[in-house]
Amino acid sequence: MNNELGIMNNKKPKIKKFTDLDVWKEGHKLVLMVYKITKNMFKRYKKQDTRIQTRYKFKFQNFKLFGYWNLRFGICLYLVSCILVSSVSATMQSDNYIIYETVLHSFEGPVVSGISCSGPTATSITVAWTTDVIADGFVVYDTASGFASSKEQGSSVKTSASHSVTVSGLESGATYYYKVKSTRLNGGSTTDTTVYTCDTSAAAADEEEEAAVPGGGGILIIDKRDKVAPLVSNVQVINVRGSSATIVWETDESATGFAEYGTDINYGNTFGQWAYGTSHSVILENLTSETAYHFRVLSSDESGNLGKSEDQVFTTISLIDEIGIDIGIEPEDEQSAENILAEASRKAIEIMEKFASQVSLNVLESTLSSQYDAIKRLAGLVPPPILSGEPRVEVQSDRATVYWTTDKEATSLVAIAGEAEYNPGAPEPYARTSGDSENLTTEHEVRIFGLEPGALYHYQLRSKSAAGALGQSRDFTFRTSLETLEITNYYTEVINDSTAAFKWVTNFNSDSAIKFAPYRNGILSVEESKIIKDNVESVIHEITIEEFEGGVVYEIELQSQDAQGNMAVQSISLFSTTKDDLPPVVSNIKVDSTVFLDKEGKIQTIISWLTNEPSTSLVYYQEGVHRGEVELANKTGLNISYSKDHIMVFTKFKSNSVYTFRVESVDSGGNVSLSDPHTFMTPKKQESILDIILRILGKTFGWMKEII
Residues 153 and 129 grouped into a single domain: yes
Tell me whether residue 702 is in a domain. Answer: no
319-326 helix and 689-700 helix, angle to the nearest 10 degrees: 70
Q: Model confidence over 600-656: pLDDT tens digits?
A: 567 788 899 999 888 889 999 998 888 878 889 899 988 877 788 898 888 888 877
Tell me whether residue 530 is in a domain. Answer: yes
Neighbours of 348 (CB within 10 A): 20
Phi, psi of 361 (to 5 degrees): -65, -35
Question: How many CA atoms are closer than 13 Å to the CA of 171, on its beta-carbon side?
Answer: 15
3-class DSSP string for 152-220: EEEEEEEEEEEEEEEECCCCCCCEEEEEEEEEECCCCEEECCCCEEEECCCCCCCCCCCCECCCCCCCE
Compute the CA torsion angle 358, 363, 367, 372 (nearest 10 deg). Answer: 60
Neighbours of 124 (CB within 10 A): 17
3-class DSSP string for 317-357: CCHHHHHHHHCCCCCCCCCHHHHHHHHHHHHHHHHHHHHHC
Does the pLDDT at position 575 exceed 80?
yes
- Which of 267, 296, 317 marks a domain boundary? 317
Q: Model confidence over 168-224: pLDDT tens digits?
A: 988 888 999 999 999 987 778 889 889 999 999 887 654 444 444 444 434 344 444
Does the pLDDT at position 345 exceed 80?
no
Give the chain's end-to-end CA distance (angstroms, integer): 77
Residues 50 and 92 grouped into a single domain: yes
Residues 375 and 463 grouped into a single domain: no
Greatest mean pLDDT among 35-39, 565-569, 591-595: 565-569
Residues 409 and 463 grouped into a single domain: yes
Q: Rg for the chain (alpha carbons), in Å?
A: 34
Q: Model confidence over 518-537: pLDDT tens digits?
A: 988 888 888 889 999 999 89
Residues 17 and 94 grouped into a single domain: yes
Number of domains the chain contains: 7
408: domain CATH number?
2.60.40.10
Residues 601 and 552 grouped into a single domain: no
Neighbours of 238 (CB within 10 A): 11
Tell me whether residue 410 is in a domain. Answer: yes
> E strands within 356-398?
392-395
Percent of the chain at pLDDT > 70 equals 69
- Which of 174, 199, 224 marks a domain boundary? 199
Residues 646 and 558 grouped into a single domain: no
Q: What is the pTM of this model?
A: 0.58
Residues 508 and 532 grouped into a single domain: yes
Q: Model confidence over 462-515: pLDDT tens digits?
A: 998 877 778 899 999 999 988 888 888 888 888 888 899 999 999 889 999 999
Q: Are strands 586-596 and 432-449 parallel, antiparallel or unpaired?
A: antiparallel
Tell me whether residue 466 is in a domain. Answer: yes
CB contact at 8 A, 486 and 524: no
Neighbours of 172 (CB within 10 A): 17
Beta bridge partners of 555: 517
Domain range enclosing 358: 330-379
Residues 423 and 343 grouped into a single domain: no
d(CA 523, CA 521): 6
Residues 236 and 288 grouped into a single domain: yes
CB contact at 8 A, 34 and 21: yes
Tell me whether residue 225 is in a domain. Answer: no
Tell me whether residue 686 is in a domain. Answer: no
Neighbours of 443 (CB within 10 A): 10
Tell me whether residue 296 is in a domain. Answer: yes
Instruction: Look at residues 281, 282, 279, 280 and name the one whose alpha carbon lies nearest to residue 270.
Output: 282
d(CA 624, CA 167): 59
CB contact at 8 A, 64 and 17: no
Residues 595 and 613 grouped into a single domain: yes
- Which of 479, 510, 536 marks a domain boundary? 479
Neighbours of 426 (CB within 10 A): 10
d(CA 385, CA 441): 11
Residue 225 pLDDT = 59
d(CA 667, CA 84): 41
Residues 350 and 427 grouped into a single domain: no
